[in-house]
Chain A
Amino acid sequence: MDSIFDKIDIVQSLWPFLLKGLWSTFKISILAIFFGSIIGFCLGVTKTTGYYLLTKLINGYLHILRGSPYLVQLYIIFFVLPSLGISWLQFDGFTAAVVSLSLYTSSYVTEIVASAIFAVPNGQSEAARSVGMTRFQTYKNVVIPQAMKLTIPPMASVYVIVIKSTAVLSVIGVSELTRQGEVAIMRMPGDIMFIYCLIALFYFLYCYPVLRFSKWAEGKFGSVGEVDN
């Protein structure tokens, strides 16, 4: 029984510390999904307009972001961009985290938005055009409102991917949940397993409801295909 009280003591002393890390994880993931969605939405809509050169460019962007690990992208944004000698590219850890995660997120969002727009039946936009709407009006009033509903379930999955990717940020010293755990382990090296289990629990409590929501939304709104993470 003694050891259980020990563990409760550890939890009590680490609680505010880990909570701070969780708050940081939350902040970074919200900012990343916000900016990533904006970039991804613009690129996804552009991809469906069918301009050859633009589509090729966006596909190249997607291949680069999907083809390299997030860890490498993070290193490039945190270590390589400052060495170019441009003053506004000298990111600190937090900014580098948000920028790299936003770009990484945008690669997922672009494909989701594009496939959702393609999933709207062609007759919808043809009908809109035939009653005299311009192409812009067709997109704004007919196609995009229908497509947005389809993006909800996969977007929740992407949010889980973003949350899980924030763990990697500990390698550049951003004080998010994993990093706070590592610092805690430096203070209490004997309880390494317990602390990692505690962090895993934090992540689980954060991600699991979002995954359940994604599953529920899939039944309600339909889906445009699984997101592989």
Chain B
Amino acid sequence: MDWLQHYFNFRIVGQYTDVFIAGIGQTLWISGLCLILSLIFGTLVALGRLSTNPLIWRPVAGYIQFIRSTPLLIQIYLVYYGLPSILPIGNLLDETQTGILALTIHTSPYFGEIIRAGITSVDRGQIEGALSVGMTPRQALFNVTLPQALANVMPPLLGQTAVLIKDTSLLSIIAVFELMGAGLRMFSETVIATESYVTAAVCYLLIYSMMLVISGILQNKLGGKAWQAN
């Protein structure tokens, strides 16, 4: 093992285990919160995009195009530097909260477009059936359309979630502590690049393989017999 120690020093990584575990926890927590917020906000974006009122769908479409055509890093900078100068509440948010806000603003349109594809994939007859048995349009949306739409688009949603987890690494640039931040801290303290960055990469791959397992289970559950029956 001595030749390996020359390239990769396990002992130093061992000293930083708790930092990296804290980083993983932080990454999972941030991306989980962003996931929930983006699902809620993304559903609103999808509904707004599907609206027939041009005063609603045109601004929403513009927002989607803007987010899709500019880099996440620029969006993070815009929120991080811009918010305090526009809104007074900007000063009340710390880096982590700003980062979560920026990531939610970035991810919602992507989720929105996926959910929109899901909603349009639900058969028209389903909604008519729901309305004809006396449901209100709101009940039909929440009890009939959205559950089917979410099940239909589960694979792209999971893919986008994996992208979201990877995107949290950019928050390290505005000094949010997460997995990449753990790697950067180890590098700034020990000045050994290999161990710091390769360990961070391995941790990200661990999270990614966890995602793959979860998505396999979910697709088995949702794509199973119950859904193929209808």
Report which of A165, A192, A206 forms a contact with B81, defined as CB distance below 8 A. A192
A68 with B205: CB separation less than 8 A = yes
* A6 surroundings in chain B (CB, below 8 A): none
Partner of A178, one of B7, B68, B73, B205: B73
In the complex, which of the residues B70, B78, B170, B208 contacts A193, with contact meaning CB atoms closer than 8 Å? B78
Least CB separation from B202: chain A residue: A68
Distance to closest chain B CB from A41 (angstroms): 22
Contact of A167 among B69, B73, B166, B192 (CB under 8 A): B73
Question: Would B180 and A200 count as touching, CB distance under 8 A?
Answer: no
Also in contact, A69 and B166, with CB within 8 A (given A196-B82, A228-B160): yes
Residue A213 is within 8 A (CB to CB) of chain B in the complex: no
Pairwise interchain contact A193-B71, C-beta atoms closer than 8 A = no
A150 within 8 A of B: no
Q: Please, how many angstroms separate the alpha-carbon atoms of A207 and B65 in the complex?
A: 10
Choose the segment among B48-56, B93-101, B193-201 that binds chain A (4+ C-beta atoms closer than 8 Å). Answer: B193-201
* Selected contact of B71 from candidates A72, A171, A178, CB within 8 Å: A178
* Beta-carbon contact of A204 and B70 below 8 Å: yes
- Contact of B193 (CB < 8 Å), options: A71, A79, A171, A192: A79
A157-198 interface with B by 8 A CB criterion: 160, 163-168, 170-171, 178, 192-193, 196-197
| B166 interface neighbour in A63, A68, A192, A197, Cβ under 8 Å | A68
Q: Is the interface of A mostly helix, strand, loop or mixed?
A: helix
- Number of residues on chain B facing chain A (CB within 8 A): 44
Identify the closest chain A residue to B113 (Cβ): A226
In the bound assembly, the distance between CA atoms of A79 and B200 in angstroms comes to: 13
Given A69-B169, A178-B73, A203-B69, residue A196 in contact with residue B180 (CB < 8 A): no
Contact B82 A203 (CB under 8 A): no
A67 partner, pick from B74, B110, B173, B205, beta carbons under 8 A:
B205
Q: Is B57 an interface residue (CB 8 A)?
A: no
> What's the interface size class on A, roughly?
35 or more
Are B208 and A67 in contact (CB-based, < 8 A)? Answer: yes
Residues of B close to A226: CB separation below 8 A: 156
The distance in angstroms between the C-alpha atoms of A200 and B78, with both chains bound, is 9
Least CB distance, A112 to chain B, in whole angstroms? 14
| Contact indicator A167/B205 (Cβ below 8 Å) | no
Flag if B78 contacts A83 (CB, 8 Å).
no
The answer to whether B209 has its CB under 8 Å from any CB of chain A is yes
Which of A68, A178, A207, A229 makes the CB contact (< 8 A) with B201? Answer: A68
Task: Compute how far the CA of A72 lies from the CA of B23 in the bound complex, rounded to whole angstroms.
Answer: 14
Residue in contact with B78 in the complex, picked from A66, A76, A197, CB distance below 8 Å: A197
User: What's the minimum C-beta distance from A162 to chain B, rounded to whole angstroms?
Assistant: 11
What separation, in Å, do the CA atoms of A69 and B163 have in the docked complex? 8
Q: Which residue of B lies closest to A227 (CB)?
A: B159
Q: Chain B residues with Cβ under 8 A from A204's Cβ?
A: 66, 69-70
Would you give the 0/1 interface string for A75-104, flagging 1 where the beta carbon is closer than 8 Å to chain B?
110011001100000000000000000000
Contact with A along B111-126 (1 / 0, CB 8 A): 0000000000000000
B146 in contact (CB, < 8 A): no
Q: Is A221 an interface residue (CB 8 A)?
A: no
Measured between beta carbons, the chain B residues less than 8 angstroms from A164 are 70-72
Asked if B172 is an interface residue, CB under 8 A from chain A, the answer is yes
Contact in complex: A68, B208 (CB < 8 Å): yes
Contact B156 A67, beta carbon cutoff 8 Å: no
Residue A73 CB within 8 A of the other chain: yes
The answer to whether residues A64 and B205 also contact, given A83-B193, A193-B81 and a CB cut-off of 8 A, is: yes
Task: Say whether A68 contacts B204, CB under 8 Å.
Answer: yes
- Is A199 part of the binding interface, using a Cβ–Cβ cutoff of 8 Å? yes
Interface string of B147-173 (1 = CB under 8 A from A): 000000000100110110011011011
**B219 an interface residue at 8 Å Cβ cutoff?**
no
CB of A208 within 8 Å of the partner chain: yes
Asked if residues A69 and B205 are in contact (CB atoms below 8 Å), the reply is no
Q: Distance (Å) between the CB of A7 and the closest chain B CB?
A: 15
Is A80 within 8 A of B69, CB to CB? no
Given contacts A207-B68, A208-B69, 5 further A-B contacts (CB under 8 A): A67-B162, A68-B208, A76-B198, A208-B65, A229-B163
